[in-house]
Amino acid sequence: MRINRIRPDIAVLSDELEVPGIGHLPVNAYVLQAAEPVVVDTGLSLPDRGFLDAIGSVVDPADVEWVWLTHPDRDHTGSLFDLLDEAPHARLITTFAGVGIMSCERSVPLDRVYLLNPGQSLDVGDRRLTALRPPLFDNPSTVGCFDDRSGSYFSSDCFGAPMETAELATADDIGYCLPSAVRAAQHLWATVDSPWVHTVDQEKFMATVSALSALEPRLLLSTHLPPAEGRTAEYLDMLAAAPQADAFVGPDQAALEQMLADFEPAH
């Protein structure tokens, strides 16, 4: 796990996961060092990722006041309960549906939950965080987060893209990648993660893009993309074209058997 301090008040805890045939998927969590510190998402649900050590190098976990869970998929909840143990005063920001989904695996302490719906805001001492569902998502409880002080939008899966290498996946800025390659990878990810985009009502979909545009975010912070500053107009245009992107068709059993054969060690 790599720690990228992209602003004095924002640190990125950058991890990645290699997806065969797709690339290296960034998996970011964020520490927002507000007056009341906020952690956005909690990493992969895989062993030995070092998430709490990474958090501890940025902020004392005991000082964390809020954990904003963009949605309860396993690449966002890896160290959630460990962090709640280490941060006894922290409240978990999620939705009613988010609590329900998490409760299928483990009981969520309701006295530590703070339910926040899209359109609602929360004061964290020196800024307001506003909940806004991103235009693309793969989980019905997904809610992104706009920070009015830094102009950052934490977009969950939206704007994500697999990168060619692990180094690019954990970079501190998307500018290390060719824009044309990023756009192609974002459309690939959009069709993998949100396949419903091909059947969406275009007018209703564009209304969600316009709602995000109205916030005028300066910094896009996706769970699955290196930080992107000054790219908002470009990436909103990418979203507008996503319904027309080629549909993703994954490998079938024959392709899987061929992949296994290709990786079989020589005798």
What pLDDT does residue 137 have? 97
Specify the pLDDT at position 194: 97
Arithmetic mean of pLDDT over the chain = 95
Question: Which pLDDT does position 73 carry in this prediction?
Answer: 95
Q: pLDDT tens across 236-252, in order?
A: 999 999 999 999 999 99
Average pLDDT over residues 4-14: 97
Sequence-ordered list of residues with C-beta below 8 angstroms from that of 143, at least 6 positions apart, any chain: 70, 71, 94, 95, 98, 116, 117, 118, 131, 132, 133, 156
**pLDDT band with cut points at 50, 70 and 90 for residue 91:** very high
Amino acid at 258: Q
- Domains of the chain, CATH where assigned: 2-263 (3.60.15.10)
Q: What average pLDDT score do residues 157-170 get? A: 98
Ranking 58-62, 101-105, 183-187, 222-226 by mean pLDDT, the lowest is 101-105
208-222 exposure pattern, b = at least 16 Cβ within 10 A, e = fewer: bbeebeeeebebbbb
What does the pLDDT average to over 73-81?
95
DSSP secondary structure string for all residues of 72-126: --TTT-TTHHHHHHH-TT-EEEE-HHHHHHHHTTS---GGGEEE--TT-EEE-SS
- Convert the pLDDT of each residue in 122-135 to its tens digit: 999 999 999 999 99
Q: Tell me the average pLDDT across 210-214.
A: 97
- With 0-12 CB in 10 A as exposed, 13-18 as middle and 19+ as buried, what is 32? buried
Q: By C-alpha distance, which of 136, 167, 160, 177 is closest to 225?
A: 160
